[in-house]
Structure 1
Amino acid sequence: MPIDALLAALSQHHFPNPPATPAQIAAFESRVGWKLDADLRAFYLHCDGAALFESPPDANYRILPLAEIRRARLAVFGRDDDAYGSPSLYALVDMQDTNYVVVDVEPKFTRYPLFDAFHETFPAVEQIAPSFGDFLMRALDSGGRSFWLEE
């Protein structure tokens, strides 16, 4: 499903924040040192973060606003040190209880894959989607469950 259709469904049935401005996106990219891929750029121009299924603070799926995105190892452990995980993994979706969906922003990817970052096993991660668009499609269809954990 095209990202525009997913974003329309998100706006219709969920809890999007107001959009990020191009200046906010440029400031974010300067701060983190990597560029948003096409799906993430479209998402953040549409809404600067969103809660799916339930409004905050009860949302299990909370796609972080740009200002809250940080390295996964910092989000999970509070330490920005290579011993605590890869510097290319960034926390993107707060799943509550220090569990995150993280994005790998290695330059070799044109579309960044997403991974389950379970706090008890991190920095070991398991890929759950090849792109943010795929993740969003499956999340919106999940009924609020962590789709990658279903049998």
Structure 2
Amino acid sequence: MSMRSLLAEISRIHHPNAPATPIQLAAFEAHVGWELDGDLRAFYLHCDGGTLFETRANAHYRFLPLAEIRRARLAIRASDEDEDGAPSVYTLVDMQDSDFIVLDVAQRIAGRYPLFDAWHETFPVVERIASSFEEFLEKALRSGNRSFWLSSDPQER
């Protein structure tokens, strides 16, 4: 499914925030020192975060607005020390159970960032769960509000 179709589905069925502006994207990239890939750029120009399935108070998938994306070690360990995680790993989705979906900006592959499950109990050890934001978003939208990477159903993996 294309990114355009996935974004249309978010607008139709889920709870997107208002779009970020190109100026906000540029300010974010200047602040963090890395560029959004094409998938993330399309997402944030469509909606500056939002939730799937439920409103924010009850959301399992809460896509962080640009203003809330930060180094994972700060979000998970409240530390900015290297022993608490690589400085290149950033939060992207708050799963609301002390679990985050993160990306590692040092691992851009074919122009896209892979995504990882970052559970607070085992962080900085992470598990790769998607090759790109587009792949993650498609699986999340089909998950029935479950963490698709934890499912034993092979159709969801």
TM-score class, shorter: over 0.9
Q: Distance in 1 between matches of 2:97 and 2:108?
A: 31
Give the count of matched residue pairs.
151
Give the structure 1 partner of residue 133 of structure 2: 132
Secondary structure at the aligned position of 1:106 is classed as helix
Query: Which runs of structure 1 show a deviation greater than 2 angstroms over 4 or more consecutive aligned residues?
Result: none
Task: Give the AA of the match of 1:114.
Answer: L
SS class of match (1:57): helix
Q: How far does residue 107 in structure 1 lie from its aligned partner after superposition? A: 6.0
Which amino acid is 1:116 matched to?
A: D
One-letter identity of the residue aligned with 2:61: Y
> Do the aligned residues in 2 keep the contact of 1:29 with 1:35 (CA within 8 Å)?
yes
Higher helix share: 2
Q: Which amino acid aligns with 1:148?
A: W
Aligned to 2:155: none
Given the two structures, how large is their TM-score scaled by the length of structure 1? 0.98
Residue type at the aligned position of 2:101: V
Task: Answer yes or no: is 1:8 the counterpart of 2:4.
Answer: no
Does residue 56 of the first structure (1) align with residue 64 of the second (2)?
no
Q: Deviations over 1:104-131 (max 9, x none)?
A: 1116431000000011000000000000
Contact 2:20 2:48 in 1 (8 A): yes
Residue correspondence of structure 1 range 80-99 to structure 2 within 5 A: 80-99=80-99
Matched residue of 1:86: which SS? coil
Which structure 2 residue ranges, 5 or more long, are not aligned?
Answer: 153-157
TM-score between the two structures when normalised by the length of structure 2 = 0.94
Select between 14-23 and 74-83 the one with higher mean Cα deviation: 74-83
Q: Does the 8 Å CA contact 1:75/1:98 hold for their aligned counterparts? A: no
CA distance change for structure 1 residues 81 and 46 in 2, over 3 Å: closer, same or farther? same
Q: Distance in 2 between matches of 1:107 and 1:120?
A: 23
Identity of aligned residues (%): 63
Tell me how large the CA RMSD over aligned residues is.
0.9
| Runs of 5+ unmatched residues, structure 1 | none
- Mapping of 1:1-151 within 5 angstroms? 1-106=1-106, 108-109=108-109, 110-151=111-152
